[in-house]
A and B are shown apart, each in its own frame.
Chain A
Amino acid sequence: MTTPVIELRDVSRGYDDGPPALSDVTLTVHAGEAVAVLGPSGSGKSTLLNLIAGLDRPDTGTVTVAGVRVDELGEAASARHRRARVGMVFQFFNLLDDLTVADNVVLPAQLAGMARGEAARRAADLLDQLGVARHARAYPGRLSGGERQRVAVARALMNRPALLLADEPTGALDTASGEDVSTLLTELNAEGQTLVVVTHDLALARSCTRRTIQLVDGRVAGDVSVEPTR
């Protein structure tokens, strides 16, 4: 068994007076795994993703990512941990409109203090690898949805993270673009990238992950490992 990249132990998180968004969740994700977190709206998927990314803290329990207790980190340490070990891909891409594609991709490296030349080379390689190098000097607004998500993936991979988190990565894409992104994620995982995909799209889960965690009302209702349907 490989080293755990994510370890959640008895994690609960609630907001205000409502029912807990997550309740006593315990799960482990190992390096190289591709995991889909499925569930209907309000099941706690986004909360789980935020806790793993260090964007939020649990009320109880522990969250360990790449050997670091992220639930104990302060804001600054959490940011440093995130940019070093976690890449994030969002449903609506969250590219910065006033930066070129290349500048968007290179940003995490620049925030981490990577040398300018090295960062530029790495960004160029990634854009080339993901098939969007020709758009390097363009602005995100001129790209198609699928291309934007490819750029977002390139940006997420910029600092060679141990973990790639994707929040509904195909949710804002048409079918063809969605399949394109799904393929990309599968290829990344095949190359050894640990992947956690939060989605309510069963097809996406089946196509690019080998394990499915089902959340219902904040609890793990199922944790099934399957072979991808490719």
Chain B
Amino acid sequence: MSALSRVVRSGVARRRVQTVVIGLATTMAVTSSVLGGSLLVASTAPFDDAFAEQRGAHLSAVFDAGKATPEQLSVPVDGVTASAGPFPVTTITPSDNGPGRNGAGGQAPGGQAPLTVAGRTDPGGGPVDAVTLTEGEWADEPGELVVSADGPHAHSPTGSAVGRRITLTDGSTLTVVGLARSVSRTADGWVPPSWVTAPESYQVLYRFTAAESVDAGREAVVAAVPADAMTGSQSWLVLKKAADRSVAVFVPFLVAFGVLGLVMSLLVVGNVVAGAVGAGTRRIGILKALGSTPAQVVRAYMAQALIPAAVGTAIGAVAGNLLAIPVLAETEDVYGAVKLTVAPWVNVVVVVGALALVSVTAWVSALRAGRLRTVDAIAVGRTPRPGRGRWAARLTARLPVPRPVGLGLARPFARPARAAAMTAAVLFGATAVTFAVGLASSLNQIQIARDHDAADVTIGVSDPGPQPGSRPGGRPAAAPDPAAVSDVIAAQAGTRAHYRTSRTQVTVTGVAGTTAVVSFTGDATWDGYQLVSGRWFTQPGEAVAPTPFLAATGTEVGDTVTLDDGGKTVTVRIVGDVFEMSNDGMVVLTDAATLTAGNDAKGATHHIAVQPGTDVNTYIDSLNAALAPLGATARPGRSGQASDTIILINSLTATLTLMLVAVAAMGVLNAVVLDTRDRIRDLGVHKALGMTPRQTIAMVIASVVVIGVVGGAVGVPAGVALHGAVLPAMGESAGIGLPASAHAVHSLPELVLLGIGGLLIAIVGASLPATWAARTSTATALRTE
């Protein structure tokens, strides 16, 4: 073994804490970088990737089985490069209690939303829509069912729906044997074709030569099949738009955390390595006195930093990949993607980048030490330059605090560069926590605003209107008389407030496709609807609409739009920008009297608030008894079911924040360890003069108080500012305006607590070295050179 190797090995072994901190800091940095980088890469085009992999359908068309035969639907169509089908399609309605709410539209009667199922012999492999089986097996036998992994039927109360038996309204049963994902969202479920004995319709899936010209392709298909046979169709562009909107939410968030993590990693790794070299100055002097060249010294100290950094990088890369598995799996669900994996080049870039960063930092620090004159290196040792921070020592000696606390408070000023690095670490930690808490609060508020489900009790009636991903061909069930239901609710003891909504589809002048109109009967302002701007409608002819609708129509609050309801036009004035995510934001909320009568006949959803002190279950039992003759069923409100996107962002926020806080605390730990080591002789003197272990701990902890307070005081406003910049960017990326409640989430007491969080990070980081300092033998400390 060469002399240099021996020096490196002994250095790594002797500086155990620094070795461990370098290793852990790089582990954390690499883990978060791999995780963040993978998500960032995965979020760039998950829909496009999945669509290409599954050979997604550019157009999913549904044809009336009574107007076209399979043979007629199999004719060649101009511009079609590939097609699949016709698949027999039918709608099934489970009779048992199901998952409840189904988007903003409410529940189906009987508690379970209908499923549109297609008969297919296999999941894919054909030219279009190769469905990916995510769990279980394909439905080969009659009575077996594969349900969409993205649908409400994919889960049972005990977890996966695989194995669950579903009883249909006609008394027959289906067993869920698998979950599958179609990026084209072609069906809610798949059954063997033989099970669909009397298809209501046929589904044909097309891929066109010109993928963007779906309208032209649709026209070609319509021309090729019998007249009026096509009853519905779905363009892949609609799905892509919705998916891109979902993905876009993540980008500003990931960029914010990515930048925070990168700066933090730079700071901590740089500080740790520089500290290790700085602390070894005397050792460097001795090495040079013994004949080591400056180049050898530089190599030795670079190696001492690179060995633990390499180990940390390897562990971090493995941890990042392992952590990415569940996170990417969640992301798959959110994106509807097929299989997301960590991009290999992300691993390469992160690993090489981390090692390069450590190398450069170590090289710069070691170069400084290598150039130091031998005699100076030995003389300087680990003693800080005299004179620094004396004013602080004088000042704190006069503070009305216990002397150990005063001694500790003065410490950062003796090592201003190290204190600044520590402060920066705490600052970034406090910024990350403040940002994360703000983001979580905002997302919670968005969830509340999105759900607007303050109602204690709901009665769902069918016809929620087309939801994202829903298929044409659904069959509405019979509905009870909404007005009669309202009368029963009003007469029910314990009712505090109630209103009902009904939905219909209209066209809006100048806007392609249909727009959902939600008609309100009764005051709904108590139910959590939140406005981005403007006010709630107060009379017929007024309406509120979300940002996507305003953007699509080119209108602003105060403008009017004309709704075409089956040939009858109604002009409404938009009086508010409401936060409403249903129907991709293409929705108008207005008074029921605004539109022509008849919507209620299609069904309504009732929302009820009970009086304070009323037992909701007792109320529901009593109400259901009264509603029984009408065929309606009341259920508890407040689903409290967070969206997958919000759950994922919250999980990521918590993970990344914990990592950043851990790195910040380690940065403090390392700096305090270095400081304690630098001052070990002084520590021995203090203890020899009678400083107790508790006083020693108080002194060391006090040495980070100023750092924690300053880091918190600057970090919290920085976190608030970051939140203020990222949240609107997230909303803007998603094309939605966010309600005021999502922006103003930081209260003063919360900010004070977050500021204390900065102090806590510093104290946690200093706790371990403080304990070590307290346990250090006085005699040993006094002997230490």
Residues of chain A having any CB pair with chain B under 8 Å: 46, 50, 53, 55-56, 75-76, 79-80, 82-84, 88, 90, 94-100, 103, 107-108, 110-113, 139, 141, 155, 159
Residues from chain B with Cβ under 8 Å of A79 in the complex: 687, 690-693, 695
Q: A90-B782, A98-B410, A99-B393 are in contact. Are A111 and B690 (CB under 8 A)?
A: yes
Residue among A99, A139, A141 facing the most chain B CB atoms (10 A cut-off): A99
Q: A50-B779, A53-B688, A107-B689 are in contact. Are A100 and B694 (CB under 8 A)?
A: no
- Alpha-carbon distance A147/B779, docked complex (angstroms): 25
Q: List 21 A-B contacts (CB under 8 A).
A: A46-B779, A53-B688, A55-B777, A55-B782, A75-B692, A79-B690, A79-B691, A79-B692, A83-B689, A95-B685, A97-B386, A98-B414, A103-B393, A103-B397, A107-B403, A111-B403, A111-B689, A111-B690, A111-B695, A139-B387, A141-B386
Residues from chain A with Cβ under 8 Å of B682 in the complex: 96
Is residue B283 contacting chain A, with contact meaning CB distance below 8 A? no
Please give the distance in Å from B397's CB to the nearest CB on chain A.
Answer: 5
Please give the distance in Å from A223's CB to the nearest CB on chain B.
Answer: 24
Across the interface, name the chain B residue whose C-beta is closest to A99. B393
- Alpha-carbon distance A191/B467, docked complex (angstroms): 98
Please count the residue pairs between chain A and chain B whose beta carbons lie under 8 angstroms apart in the complex.
Answer: 84
- Alpha-carbon distance A112/B414, docked complex (angstroms): 25
- Alpha-carbon distance A56/B692, docked complex (angstroms): 15
6 smallest A-B Cβ distances: which pairs? A83-B690, A110-B403, A79-B692, A76-B692, A55-B779, A55-B778
- Alpha-carbon distance A139/B410, docked complex (angstroms): 16
Residues from chain B with Cβ under 8 Å of A113 in the complex: 402
Residue among A97, A100, A141, A159 facing the most chain B CB atoms (10 A cut-off): A97
Please give the distance in Å from A71's CB to the nearest CB on chain B.
Answer: 14
Residues from chain A with Cβ under 8 Å of B403 in the complex: 107, 110-111
B685 A96 Cβ-Cβ under 8 A: yes
B393 A108 Cβ-Cβ under 8 A: no
- Give the residues from 384 to 439 in chain B that come closer than 8 angstroms, CB to CB, to chain A: 386-390, 393-394, 397, 402-404, 410, 414
Q: A94-B681, A97-B386 are in contact. Are A155 and B689 (CB under 8 A)?
A: yes
Residues of chain B having any CB pair with chain A under 8 Å: 383, 386-390, 393-394, 397, 402-404, 410, 414, 681-682, 684-695, 774-775, 777-779, 782
Residues from chain A with Cβ under 8 Å of B691 in the complex: 79, 83, 111
Please give the distance in Å from B694's CB to the nearest CB on chain A.
Answer: 6
Please give the distance in Å from B519's CB to the nearest CB on chain A.
Answer: 76
- Alpha-carbon distance A113/B695, docked complex (angstroms): 11
Residues from chain B with Cβ under 8 Å of A76 in the complex: 692-694
B779 A94 Cβ-Cβ under 8 A: no
Residues from chain B with Cβ under 8 Å of A103 in the complex: 393-394, 397
- Alpha-carbon distance A44/B637, docked complex (angstroms): 82
- Alpha-carbon distance A103/B396, docked complex (angstroms): 11
Partner of B690, one of A94, A95, A108: A108
Residues from chain A with Cβ under 8 Å of B779 in the complex: 46, 50, 55-56
Residues from chain A with Cβ under 8 Å of B692 in the complex: 75-76, 79-80, 111
Residues from chain B with Cβ under 8 Å of A50 in the complex: 779
- Further pairs besides A82-B690, A139-B386: 15, Cβ < 8 Å: A46-B779, A55-B782, A56-B777, A75-B775, A76-B694, A79-B691, A79-B693, A80-B690, A80-B692, A83-B691, A94-B782, A98-B390, A107-B403, A107-B686, A107-B689
Residues from chain A with Cβ under 8 Å of B681 in the complex: 94
A88 B693 Cβ-Cβ under 8 A: no
Please give the distance in Å from A136's CB to the nearest CB on chain B.
Answer: 12
A98 B782 Cβ-Cβ under 8 A: no
- Alpha-carbon distance A56/B684, docked complex (angstroms): 13
Across the interface, name the chain B residue whose C-beta is closest to A82. B690
- Alpha-carbon distance A53/B387, docked complex (angstroms): 31
Please give the distance in Å from A139's CB to the nearest CB on chain B.
Answer: 7
Residues from chain A with Cβ under 8 Å of B782 in the complex: 55, 90, 94
Please give the distance in Å from B724's CB to the nearest CB on chain A.
Answer: 42
- Alpha-carbon distance A193/B553, docked complex (angstroms): 97
B390 A139 Cβ-Cβ under 8 A: yes
Please give the distance in Å from A80's CB to the nearest CB on chain B.
Answer: 6
- Alpha-carbon distance A55/B682, docked complex (angstroms): 15
Please give the distance in Å from B430's CB to the nearest CB on chain A.
Answer: 29
Please give the distance in Å from A46's CB to the nearest CB on chain B.
Answer: 8
- Alpha-carbon distance A97/B387, docked complex (angstroms): 8
Across the interface, name the chain B residue whose C-beta is closest to A77. B692
- Alpha-carbon distance A123/B38, docked complex (angstroms): 65
Residues from chain B with Cβ under 8 Å of A56 in the complex: 777, 779
Residues from chain B with Cβ under 8 Å of A110 in the complex: 402-403
B689 A75 Cβ-Cβ under 8 A: no
Residues from chain A with Cβ under 8 Å of B688 in the complex: 53, 55, 82, 88, 90, 94
- Alpha-carbon distance A99/B681, docked complex (angstroms): 15
